[in-house]
Amino acid sequence: MDYYSFFAAIENSAIGAFVRETLNVLPIVNVFHVLGIALVFGTIFMVDMRLIGLQSVTRPVSRVANDLLKWTWVGFALAAVTGLLMFAANATTFYVNLQFQLKMVALAFAGLNMVVFELVTARNMAIWDGERRTPPSARFAGFASITLWVLVIILGRWIGYTKGFNFSAPPAGDLDLDNLFGAISLVQTAVG
């Protein structure tokens, strides 16, 4: 199978072209992607810190997780949808980008870590749920989760610095630089 042709078709789709070619859509999608990742990481970080034993040690793990993980899924849905939109806009660029590939591997391992935790470690949670110190497997899962999500974030930021995007600047008529520079001058005059 010719994967490049497959990704080129995604990139040339109506949604890919819309995200890539419509002024400000890609930056707005990127902002919401970052917000989604922040929500995912922030909530997972708090649960993982409880698993490691560095936060909320007087609260049961199940309560910390139940209070936060619904927000994790909201953030994950937002990050997934916006990530797919950004991918569609530049699929051929991402397809060959090493940092993107490594990010997807780290994301897959973060998901695998969650599945193993849920199916193996959390199965006995009733025994250790209220304990200040969780079992080694829970601490390992928390540490691995934080490590993998930090890696996902680092690689995600790195993507933007390793390969350009497949779009050209909007036509000059779409950008009103005179008004932009005029506004900057007004601010400088008012401040200075």
26 belongs to a structural domain: yes
C-alpha distance across the termini of the chain, in Å? 62
176 belongs to a structural domain: no
Q: Where are the alpha helices (DSSP H) in the chain?
A: 3-11, 14-21, 25-52, 61-89, 91-95, 98-116, 125-128, 136-162, 177-191
pLDDT tens, 98-127?
Answer: 999 999 999 999 999 999 999 999 998 888
Q: Phi/psi zone of residue 24: left (φ > 0), alpha (ψ -120 to 50 degrees), beta? A: left
184 belongs to a structural domain: no
The structural domain count of the chain equals: 1
Q: Quick one: average pLDDT of 163-182?
A: 56
Could you tell me the residue range of the domain that residue 19 belongs to?
Answer: 3-163
Q: Work out the angle at residue 7's Cα, subtended by the Cα atoms of residues 6 and 11, and round it to the nearest 5 degrees.
A: 120
130 belongs to a structural domain: yes
pTM reported for the whole predicted model: 0.80
pLDDT tens, 70-101?
Answer: 999 999 999 999 999 999 999 999 999 999 99
119 belongs to a structural domain: yes
User: What separation in angstroms does the CA of 127 have from each of 48, 56, 60, 121, 124?
Assistant: 18, 18, 11, 11, 6
Task: Check pLDDT > 80 for residue 186.
Answer: no
pLDDT tens, 135-171?
Answer: 999 999 999 999 999 999 999 999 988 866 555 555 5
172 belongs to a structural domain: no
190 belongs to a structural domain: no
Select from 21, 1, 2, 24 the least CA-distant residue to 13.
21
Mean residue pLDDT of the chain comes to: 88
User: What separation in angstroms does the CA of 64 have from each of 45, 89, 111, 164?
Assistant: 11, 38, 19, 41
